[in-house]
Structure 1
Amino acid sequence: MSEWYEALALLLGTIMVLMALGMPVAIAFLAANILGAFVFMGGERGVTQLLNNGLGALTSYALVPIPLFLLMGEIFFHTGLGARMFNAIDRLLGRLPGRLSYVTVLGGTGFATLSGSSMGSTALLGSLMVPEMNERGYKKHMSLGPILGTGGLAIIIPPSALAVLLATLAKVDITALLIAGIIPGLILAAFYLATIWLQTRIDPTAAPAYSVEEIPFPKKLKLLVRDVVPMVGLMAVIIMMMLGGIATPSEAAAFGALGVLVLAAIFRSLSIRAMIKSVTGALKVTLMAYLIVFGSATFSQLLAFSGASSGLIRWATGFELEPIVMLLVMFGVLLVLGMFMEQISIILLTVPVFFPLAQELGFDLVWFALIVLLSLEISFTTPPFGLLLFVMKGVAPPGTTMRDIYLAAIPFILCSLLLVALLVMFPPLALWLPGS
């Protein structure tokens, strides 16, 4: 019987080597799992048993919200409902200084929350909003920063497909995790809006004022009721259904997908082409997510069977460090991994190790999962290698340097770090709603 650290080194080492060779993450995990089954579970019989267990994990009812939430976001985007909401918010804010930055946070949060993709949201907003803000004379930190910040909201405010995936893999109550993100998400949104307001107060030239058409109140009310309330109201109904125990996450996700379809039909923007694009986009991400679930289920079993997970927990807790110190260490690991890997890969790699350790340390797993989600999003915008920084560079106008992007991201990273600190000091911010 090999030592636990030898088993861990074999499994993780195989994955890292295969990923370094360019193999897709899910396939790298599957290959490492098959090798591990041969070594630790008795050869061919072990591989068969492992694959059967992995297929069993895919039949979980808890996975149903993932494709439905993704389909909801794709329809929202491809039918133009998202564009309607952006345009309405833009016109409603009138002559507010930094108006387009606020539009980016408010409208971008709505889109990113439904799409569940930080990278997709950043690419869309970067290509849509940055040229407009540059044309209006906005300084780069006012145009780039809010876009990089919206992902932090997307990942914790329900409905969030990534939160559902994390809860499924970590065996955490999905409804509780989704609801736990509501209050922290609203606090983070307030931090972002306050940051924009402060930036415009310190430097009014950062977002120059320009004349806009004055809209009479009745027309504003019509815009609000027609183009904003239905979209925001749908998200609110989904949250209230889960919060009130009226529907499970799967049922709420089905209702949300149906609701977006109905809205698209009402606005006469539902077409066969939009549906084909929506279903195709949702299907691609769903297949990847299911491969990830399969790989994670088998990987977790191998870690347990080989003694790697229990050995690692004994080793980590043997230092007799304070739980808060261990939390900071795990937080730091997630930040570093986020500079080189995408979020689902990090979840796949860390969940089998971090969540048993968090349970051993006495952390509430719903609260810990929320910390993990936030740390993943912060890592995506952390200089110098955060992936969203490079996505932004790809869609930003010519002449935008990486230094511009780094400086724009820092205030919004600080907002997210402040929220993490608040959650550590006051866990009820996350746990009050799920427990009520």
Structure 2
Amino acid sequence: MILEWYFALGLLISLVVGQMMLGVPVAIAFMAANLLCAYLFMGDTFAFYQVVDNSTSLITRFQLAPVPFFILMGALFFYSGIAQRVFTTLDLLLGRIPGRLCFLTVGGGALFSTLTGSSMANTAMLGSMMVPEMERRGYHWRMSLGPILGTGGLAMIIPPSTLGVLLATVAGLDVGRFLIAGILPGLVLGLLYTLVIVGQVWRNPSYAPQYEVAPVPLSEKLWAALVNLVPMGFVVFMVVGLILLGIATPTESAAFGVLSILILMAAFRVLSYRALHDALLSTVKIGGMVFFIILNSSIFSQLLAYSGASSGMLRFAASFDVNTVTVLLFMFIALLFLGMFMDPVSMILITTPIFFPLAQTLGINPLWFGLFVLICLEMSQTTPPFGLLLYVMLGVAPKGTTLRKVAIAAAPYLGCDAILIVVMYVFPSLVLYLPSLL
């Protein structure tokens, strides 16, 4: 069946979105839409054989190999208890700094996001660990909820980012360069979050009341840092450093990252059968889901191209005389809107076949645009009323916490994300400098 490009585009997207609004799982929604549209567009049951034939090559690409490794890294880091050791040490080092628990959240969360790559896991862990302690110490809810929601999103852009690998793979970007591109923007974002906390404590000291902290000798602090924090640098080097030095591919560095976590588990004497079992089981569950989604999204992209929807949409967009900033603004609004009822993976799968070719037509650097999309995804997850991270936080927050409180606490950190996008646009080298060294 031959359809006009806009009918084909509308049919594909409405079938997926409609099913998800009815509660159908993302992967199943894509699979059903793919099979139905393949039959309609090709007009023969041969279409089903074509879909199956393409599926094998789609999920056996070498570029996807880092995904299960990064998932396993995060699972090992969590189930081994090493995450708790890191937070305890950072807490020891901060001493009596005003708002110390907020800074602990940003520092520990940034490090945890570097080693896990999962924003949901990051937010859930920080919320369950830090919010009860902040509440006990008399912290205002703005100070206890806000930094966690902000820092939880750092996992999306600081490598290794599982979502970054997925986006790079679907968009056809160099995975290693794309991961490295997120380092400097991630550090800038962490700095902006820190400035927000300093400003809030300065304006309202009662928001983060000081309390007595038992004095700890400098020698004990240095020893704790040496034992519990310095080894984390070893993991970061194995994952990021080997890529920067050109010694390893992203897949090889991800494997080295898993090896480094296993070495630390053995050194800390937490390498147990139980920890390995739980980590591997979690990896298989999450990895299987991700690969099934990638398979169906890739077929979705092929159908967009086969039906002429991709080329038709590009011709339509190019017919308008608008500048790059206007197009980016429309994309920004669209991603925030989709974030109201979709998870980041679904948004990547639907928007990438449309947005990336359009950005390329406008001459936007693909690495820069990929990071722009990731930051928009992060913002969409903390944008009311349906941001996913807002509900993750509600799930671990104290009883009586409302969505309104969570959204208000997140607002300053959404502002930081918006500032980062503007800085990236004015100074694109913030994104492109490190990848240029590879």
TM-score, normalised with respect to structure 1: 0.98
Indicate the residue corresponding to 2:319 in structure 1: 318
Q: Distance in 1 between matches of 2:360 and 2:115?
A: 31
Give the match's secondary structure for 2:98: coil
Gaps of 5+ in 1: none
Give the match's secondary structure for 1:371: helix
Q: How does 1:1-400 map to 2 (within 5 A)?
A: 1-400=2-401
Q: Distance in 2 between matches of 1:200 and 1:22?
A: 42
Query: Does the aligned pair in 2 maintain the 1:339–1:379 contact within 8 Å?
Result: yes
Structure 1 vs Structure 2 CA RMSD: 1.1
Q: Distance in 1 between matches of 2:254 and 2:238?
A: 11
Q: 1:310 to 1:431 in 2, by over 3 A?
A: same
Q: Distance in 1 between matches of 2:57 and 2:238?
A: 32
Q: Distance in 1 between matches of 2:413 and 2:343?
A: 20
Query: Does the aligned pair in 1 maintain the 2:114–2:236 contact within 8 Å?
Result: no
Matched letter for residue 276 of structure 1? H
Query: Does the aligned pair in 1 maintain the 2:113–2:158 contact within 8 Å?
Result: no
Query: Does the aligned pair in 1 maintain the 2:98–2:201 contact within 8 Å?
Result: yes
Query: Does the aligned pair in 2 maintain the 1:343–1:376 contact within 8 Å?
Result: yes
Q: Distance in 1 between matches of 2:405 and 2:101?
A: 18
Gaps of 5+ in 2: none
Give the match's secondary structure for 1:400: coil
Q: CA deviation at 1:35?
A: 1.0
Q: CA deviation at 1:396?
A: 0.8
Query: Does the aligned pair in 1 maintain the 2:382–2:390 contact within 8 Å?
Result: yes
Q: Distance in 1 between matches of 2:169 and 2:200?
A: 40
Q: Distance in 1 between matches of 2:286 and 2:422?
A: 32
Query: Does the aligned pair in 2 maintain the 1:51–1:298 contact within 8 Å?
Result: no
Give the match's secondary structure for 1:303: helix
Q: CA deviation at 1:74?
A: 0.4
Q: Among the aligned pairs, what percent are the same residue?
A: 51
Q: CA deviation at 1:385?
A: 2.2
Query: Does the aligned pair in 2 maintain the 1:338–1:376 contact within 8 Å?
Result: yes
What CA deviation, in whole Å up to 9, does each residue of 1:382-423 have, x standing for no partner? 122212112211211122222221221011111111001111
What CA deviation, in whole Å up to 9, does each residue of 1:14-39 have, x standing for no partner? 11222222211111111111111111
Stretch deviating more after TM superposition (381-390 or 282-291): 381-390
Stretch deviating more after TM superposition (132-141 or 9-18): 9-18
Q: Distance in 2 between matches of 1:295 and 1:407?
A: 37
Matched letter for residue 195 of structure 1? V
Matched letter for residue 319 of structure 1? F
Q: How does 1:415-430 map to 2 (within 5 A)?
A: 415-430=416-431
Structure 1 residue runs of 4+, over 4 Å off? none
Q: CA deviation at 1:358?
A: 1.0
Indicate the residue corresponding to 1:434 in structure 2: 435
Give the match's secondary structure for 2:304: helix
Aligned length: 436
Q: Distance in 2 between matches of 1:315 and 1:51?
A: 32
Query: Does the aligned pair in 1 maintain the 2:181–2:367 contact within 8 Å?
Result: yes
Query: Does the aligned pair in 2 maintain the 1:152–1:416 contact within 8 Å?
Result: no
Q: Distance in 1 between matches of 2:291 and 2:79?
A: 24
Q: Distance in 1 between matches of 2:21 and 2:205?
A: 47
What CA deviation, in whole Å up to 9, does each residue of 1:209-263 have, x standing for no partner? 1111111111111011101111133113421111111100000000000100110
Matched letter for residue 315 of structure 2? R
TM-score, normalised with respect to structure 2: 0.97
Q: Distance in 1 between matches of 2:20 and 2:414?
A: 28
Query: Does the aligned pair in 2 maintain the 1:113–1:155 contact within 8 Å?
Result: no
Q: Distance in 1 between matches of 2:203 and 2:269?
A: 44
